Each structure stands twice: as C-alpha cells, then as structure tokens.
Amino acid sequence: MVTLYGYPPCSTCKKAEKWLKENGIDYTYIHIVEATPSKDELAELWKQSGLPLKKFFNTSGQVYRNEGIKDKLPNLSEDEQLELLASNGMLLKRPIVTDGQKSTVGFSEKSFTDVWGEVL
C-alpha cells in the first residue's frame, strides 16, 4: 500500500494525488502537519529515498526562511536535522510518498513515472 504525506492546500501534493489516481494507484493520505512523521519514520523514509537529507527540507516554506534554517543546517548532525524535521511538518518538503520499500520527495511526473510506474 502506498502512503502519501501531504498538506491539503499544497498544489504540488494535489498534482501527486492526481497522478496516483490517474494511474490507478491506491494510497492512504496522511496530513503532514497534523501527523508529522517521527524522527525514526523520517530516518527510514530518507534511507528509502536515496536522497541527501537536505532534500527533505521545504526550503521555500515560511518556517524554513523565518527560522534561518539555511544557515543552521551546515552545523547540524543528521540526527539533529531529523529531529528538526520531525518537530514541524511545515519544514518537510512535500509530498512524501512511500510504499515501505522506496520513497519519493516532492513531485515531478518523470520521477513518479520512474519510481511509481512499476507499481502499475
């Protein structure tokens, strides 16, 4: 089963949902702010994604900018970065989609086709 961590007003999340629906992929929707993944869950999603941890940060979000996180990140350990991400769902880039084996962050039609097209 596929899980999509999203934020209802997010247009990128809506595009991802549309792609999953159009491709007949059933998924469970989790509100990323109301049910922010824990530090351990984020560590697992990060491992599954194969991406650098900094890709999990919503760098265009207000919280990221207002808190000056760009300047803090280079001095934080991976553990501290995961702790920070788990502390506020608005810091997470979205959507995050996972099937428990692999994960994607953000949405692009190409990446979804490459990763989730094989689910079809």
Query: Domain residues of the chain, as ranges?
Result: 2-119
Q: Is residue 95 reached through a cis peptide bond, with omega within 30 degrees of 0 on the bond before it?
A: yes
Mean pLDDT for the stretch of residues 97-111: 96
98 in Cβ contact with 46 (< 8 Å): no
Question: The domain at 2-119 falls in which architecture?
Answer: 3-Layer(aba) Sandwich (3.40)
- Judge contact between 4 and 27, C-beta under 8 A: yes
Q: Is the pLDDT of residue 120 over 80?
A: no
Question: What pLDDT does residue 51 have?
Answer: 97
What's the confidence (pLDDT) of residue 118? 72
Mean pLDDT of all residues in the chain? 96
